[in-house]
Amino acid sequence: MPKSKTQPCPSCGHVMRLERRDDVVVYKDQEKRIKTRGWWCSACDEAIFDGKALAAREAAFLEHKAEIDGVLGPKEVTAIREKLGLSQRAASELLGGGPRSFQKYESGTQAVSVPMSNLLRLLSRDPSRLEELRQSAHKPLSKASASKGATSKPAAKRRQRDKAVGAGG
């Protein structure tokens, strides 16, 4: 059975029609016009979005937000990651952000941070730098990093000396 083309408006009770209209997404007082399919009230201009229309509107909002904040949008992240020849998982592991970060960035469910945007822009301009990141990811920790949390030699010697003194006296 085909979906009804009308329904009552939950705000005012008048007729809502399923149609494509101009809509506005707003972020930091800046507007962007988009075409959106949804239920529109003929009396009070209330709108209801669901399914694909809601996802498309949310994606348009995130792209608008990215433009204003000066960060990469989902399509740009995807293009750069693919240019670098990385899977979403490999990009997350090598560049950070969490195990599913690139899946979230590219689907538009999580905004990209300014530092991650900057890193991706730099790697896009010079993909050879990716190899440096791969190499540093596989290097053993420096002595200072490796010994962090471990007992220093002087402290270990003091403990050995204290045990010997305690055992003998």
- In the block, residue with structure tokens 């979906």: 3
Model pLDDT for residues 10-36, shown as the tens digit of each residue: 999 999 999 999 999 999 999 999 999
Query: Exposed/middle/buried for 16, CB within 10 Å: 0-12, 13-18, 19+?
Result: buried
- Please give the pLDDT value at position 4: 72
Q: 40-62 burial string, b = 16+ CB within 10 Å, else e?
A: bbeeeebbbbeeebeebbebbbb
Domain pair 6-54 / 70-138, same fold: no
- Please give the pLDDT value at position 122: 96
- Domain extent listing, the chain: 6-54, 70-138
The top-level CATH class assigned to 6-54 is alpha beta
**Dihedrals φ, ψ of 31, to 5°?**
-105, 150
Pairing of strands 30-41, 15-27: antiparallel
* pTM listed for this prediction: 0.62
User: Under CATH, what is the fold of the domain 70-138?
Assistant: 434 Repressor (Amino-terminal Domain) (1.10.260)
Model pLDDT for residues 47-99, shown as the tens digit of each residue: 999 888 898 888 888 889 889 999 999 899 999 999 999 999 999 999 998 88
Residue 8: pLDDT above 70? Answer: yes
